Structure 1
């Protein structure tokens, strides 16, 4: 078994699964009519999803995560801070990751700074603040300019970090934001600010900037081979900035399901994993990659990577493809632990984000069963004796100054 350790973060995408079959849809995003959404059913689903986050604390997960997406059935969380507030109110110890707020889509970044700071104070300093650019689809849904999103992202990032860390009021005069009084109340409890994570899918610029700032980088929905390529890019960039990254700076988001036998695991999860990739991620290229969203270098790298590793579009992946390429981890606890060891031993990763625990149209009883079995039989294999979560052992939050100086 691996000599390395992992931290385990629950992550439910909070989808609305009751939509037409994939073959009847052009896209699950942007243009799928909201006439398919039943708020009464949505009420039940949201509360089930929140129950899963609370269960994560009871089972001893290191954290639980929410994120931001717009106008889709794949993940109905247009405001992740609202969902985080409910989780904070119903838990007391678990770390809550917002992975993350899509900065270029906000007209005024101070609204993000204020919301996250409020959550950090209310929670007693349990917030992890992920920042994302938002997927290409969001730029259609919210009528944002993808060509300026990267520079807008980093200006918003710099403004928020300064607003959290420095005394106000001060003025901000940038290319995209002109704010005469930057003076947010409250300020976050964690100093100088909550840990910042950067999720991504292989953008060269994102990886380099994450390494420069020593932010944990989370690879999302990618095959093991491509994850390794991106981790190598992070390590190369870190070396240029004069350090070797710790395992806690490398995270992977891989849907995971365990059951008593291998056959039962596949039987219980196959249709739900396929919903995620063939229906939830049914997105035409013109929605996924609007002009200007990727730099020429990142676009070339993505095309070259897909050719080199034979990477298919999500909707073209078979269930066997998902297993073979390790987009997903399915099996007995021992089998899944062995696959996780590849991430720790071969890739040097330190954080498993299990979007895993609630996938597609998976019913709540399967989610709870999976979470419980995973917590009881997989997590202890990557932890010190006692199977305590990081927050109970006093382990610094990944990305905090304490973790980077450990």
Structure 2
């Protein structure tokens, strides 16, 4: 069991506000926080890398990681992560990370993400190519690290007649690759199949446990030993529960006030859909702000005395089977330095030692998939068949006709790949894209999209919608289950919300009648 500290630095100017001197003042404190984490015995530090996020105000994460490497000797350094679709030449990023791994004496964990909505907007990047660019860029980087001979790369987005990487990382064949779970994308299953580590952001406990289970199942179905799962649960500690909650509540409310004054980011395609798939009018998503109590009750943050945090974090680690925990402020934002250092010290000295001891004897995580390579049909990942997908689509069209709706529908399998799609005559042109987003949402959340919106507090929903163009919480997406296992999902759009949901229900009923 390994414990990483998420570097947030001291509290600075609110998001969206410019302070030209902030970077100069914040950078030393940011690096000092990493040095303190090593002195306290943490196994690693984690650096965020969203280009336009408020926590990026201290600069380039790869350069910061190099500074941290120069100031430390033992602690691992995770950069989570570089947004691959924003890099026109992934090989330049591969060289940077390989150099960083050499400079740190093999202490790098290389994390990759797709980028936030703000990143896509500022880069004018076509959102429909993000998925392809991400996986192709990752494959090119990993192969350039591992190959000992020149090779040709002829991809859809990158062409290189000769790839001969002059710099290779110290860790062989590559540093550990960490991929962040992103709603609306088949990241979980694909990461497991490729054998990479999965980073799961904070969320409701049941959702986090399910994501970890699916990652292991996908790895086992591909004949791989499951790679590490990294779970991120922000923590804040004080000597007493009441004191810790008072401090965390004040900081969280400060963060909400700052976020409320931040201008919204328009979509990357003028006139195109907003983050939730609906036409973007420039206004803020209409979700009510969550309460601090909701964050605590749903397990998004762990706040309290050493005993309280230890017990709750042990339950989390036991149920998820995570190999790495990333703590720190997270969704609570940057704490004032004295409170942050005090929390780090209490966690490192009075929580981590006991959890290390308990982790040596903890049982296997609940809902763990097959432990080894698949040996028969039962050990492979189930998927929805084409015949079943067509039954769903026919039922959708039949019910839409009965209720006077004109809809489009799409069925995806357990990996998020389209199985079948259909659009009724007269349905609006972009309906197919929105139907796919609804299916992806239901697939990733494992519940209907109109139910998923109740499971996440507003900051998490807003972050998901802003970061992931492929996701929507709009009603009309449902998972398709076989014997309690999600084998795919259906998305329907074109009618009113309740009509889309009714079409989904009718389709699932028709499929059940044919089973």
Q: What TM-score bracket applies, with the shorter chain setting the length?
A: 0.7 to 0.9
- 2:480 is aligned to none
Judge conservation of contact 1:7–1:351 (CA < 8 Å) in 2.
Answer: yes
* Post-superposition CA distance 1:203-231 (Å, at most 9, x none): 45110111112222111132222212322
CA distance in 1, matches of 2:114, 2:107: 23
Deviation at 1:358, TM superposition (A): 9.6
1:141 matched to 2:127: no
Q: Deviations over 1:250-293 (max 9, x none)?
A: 22112110100011111222222334466459785865999699
| Mapped contact 2:120–2:127 kept (Cα < 8 A) | yes
SS in 2 for 1:383: helix
Matches within 5 A, 1:281-320: 316-320=289-293
Tell me what 2:252 maps to. 273
| Displacement after TM superposition at 1:340 (Å) | 0.5
Give the Å deviation of 1:184.
Answer: 2.4
Equivalent residue for 1:363? 336
Mapped contact 2:41–2:348 kept (Cα < 8 A): yes
The 1:288–1:57 alpha-carbon spacing in structure 2 relative to 1, beyond 3 Å, is: farther
Give 5+ residue unaligned stretches, structure 2: 278-284, 360-515
Maintained 8 Å contact 1:257/1:265: yes
Kindly indicate whether residue 64 of structure 2 is the aligned counterpart of residue 83 of structure 1.
yes
Residue 365 of structure 1, CA deviation:
1.3
State the secondary structure of the residue aligned to 1:38. Answer: coil
Q: For each residue in 1:76-134, what CA deviation from the matched residue of structure 2 results, as whole angstroms up to 9, or x when unmatched?
A: 26621011011011001111111111111011001110010001111111111011111
Measured in 1, the distance between the counterparts of 2:203 and 2:255 equals 13
- 2:222 is matched with 241
Query: Which residue in 2 is equivalent to 1:341?
Result: 314
Selected match of 2:354 from 377, 381, 386: 381
CA distance in 1, matches of 2:312, 2:205: 10
Within a 5 Å distance, the mapping from 1:131-210 to structure 2 comes to 131-210=112-191
SS at match of 1:138: helix
Q: Report the counterpart of residue 7 of structure 1 in structure 2.
A: 2
The corresponding residue for 1:397 is none
| 1:64 is aligned to 2:45 | yes
Q: What is the RMSD of the two structures over their aligned residues, measured on CA atoms?
A: 3.0
Which of 102, 118, 125 is 1:121 aligned to? 102
Q: 2:503 — aligned with what?
A: none
Is the counterpart of residue 257 in structure 1 residue 252 in structure 2?
Answer: no
**Deviation sequence 1:169-211 (CA, Å, 0-9, x none):** 3332211011233222221111001110111243451101111
Within 1, Cα distance between the matches of 2:181 and 2:162? Answer: 32
Runs of 4+ in 1 over 6 A off after TM superposition: 288-294, 312-315
Match of 2:302 in 1: 329
CA apart distance, 1:40: 2.0
Q: Which residue of 2 aligns with 1:23?
A: none
- Between the aligned partners of 1:210 and 1:201, the Cα distance in structure 2 is 11
Change (3 A) 1:234 1:143: same
Give the structure-2-normalised TM-score: 0.62
Equivalent in the alignment of 1:100 = 81
* Change beyond 3 A, Cα 1:72–1:250: closer
Measured against aligned partners, the alpha-carbon deviations of 1:291-325 in whole angstroms (never above 9, x if no partner) come to 6999x9xx9xxxxxxxxxxxx99872210011011
Matches within 5 A, 1:10-89: 10-14=5-9, 17-19=12-14, 28=15, 32=16, 36-76=17-57, 79-89=60-70
Which deviates further from its counterpart, 178-187 or 132-141? Answer: 178-187
Matched residue SS, 2:56: coil
In the alignment, is the contact (CA less than 8 A) between 1:67 and 1:77 conserved in 2? no
Question: Taking structure 1 as reference, are residues 174 and 204 closer, same or farther at Cα in structure 2, changes over 3 Å only?
Answer: closer
Tell me by how many angstroms 1:65 deviates: 1.1
Contact kept, 8 Å, 1:136 with 1:287, in 2: the verdict is: yes
Higher relative contact order (CA 8 A, sep 6+): 1
SS in 2 for 1:85: helix
Whole-Å separation in 2 of the counterparts to 1:181 and 1:277: 50
Residue equivalent to 1:393:
none
Deviations 1:328-352 (A, max 9, x none): 1100011001111121222222211
Rate the CA distance shift 1:215–1:224 in 2: closer, same or farther, 3 A: same
TM-superposed deviation, 1:244: 6.2
Q: Give the whole-Å Cα distance in 1 for the aligned partners of 2:263 and 2:10.
A: 15
